A = this chain, B = another copy of it.
Amino acid sequence: MANTVYIATSLDGFIAGPSGELDWLMEFPNPGNSDYGFAEFMERIDALVMGRNTFEMVASFEGDWPYPKPVFVCSNTLTSIPDHLNDKTELIGGEPAAIVHQLNERGFRNLYIDGGKTVQSFMREGLIDELILSRLPILLGDGIPLFGKLDAPQNYTLEHSETFSNGICKTVYRRKW
């Protein structure tokens, strides 16, 4: 069982611009049309857990729903999921540890934790086992940060590192307990 964060950030640690802008990410040159290993990663997870903001953003994208695995949306304000996403997503409430426990019990053992606030709250509770960071070679200078405050430092081991011709550096870290 593992909870994994798989996310792209700027060199200065932002996952989006100040107003949630993703153009620097979406429009970043990708000559080889690489998915940077995302499909392979998707295969080994059982479900996604994301916050409302990320869910609403992904739901607003044109085109097909991007996730082949069940998506659990953490929200205290949403009361329902749009009809056309009802078979793909489910609302889930509670504290991070309770969410993990509940999903593990239901057989979802490997979870992909996504979205700024959700990642920060799971990280603060010490619930992240694996961190897959793809750093774009850009300084945004401002924006929504990936990392938040922690009560204590957390140590990781570097499991893998990979660079792409467009300058993206992908690193895989595993929590050292």
Query: What count of chain A residues pass the 8 Å CB interface test?
Result: 36
A152: CB under 8 A from chain B?
Answer: yes
In Å, the complex CA distance between A47 and B130 comes to 40
What residues of chain B lie closer than 8 Å to A140, measured between beta carbons?
Answer: 150, 153
What residues of chain B lie closer than 8 Å to A147, measured between beta carbons?
Answer: 11-13, 139, 141
**Does A163 contact B163, Cβ atoms closer than 8 Å?**
no
Number of copies of this chain in the oligomer? 2
A16: CB under 8 A from chain B?
Answer: no
Query: A11-B147, A12-B13, A173-B11 known; A138 and B163 CB under 8 Å?
Result: no
CB distance from A120 to the nearest CB of B (A): 10
What residues of chain B lie closer than 8 Å to A151, measured between beta carbons?
Answer: 141
- In the complex, 14 of the A-B residue pairs with CB atoms within 8 angstroms, ordered by the A residue number, are A11-B133, A11-B147, A11-B156, A11-B173, A123-B139, A137-B157, A137-B176, A139-B150, A140-B150, A141-B153, A141-B154, A142-B149, A161-B161, A169-B169
Residues in chain A within 8 A of chain B (CB atoms): 10-13, 24, 123, 131, 133, 135, 137-142, 146-158, 161, 163, 167-169, 171, 173, 176
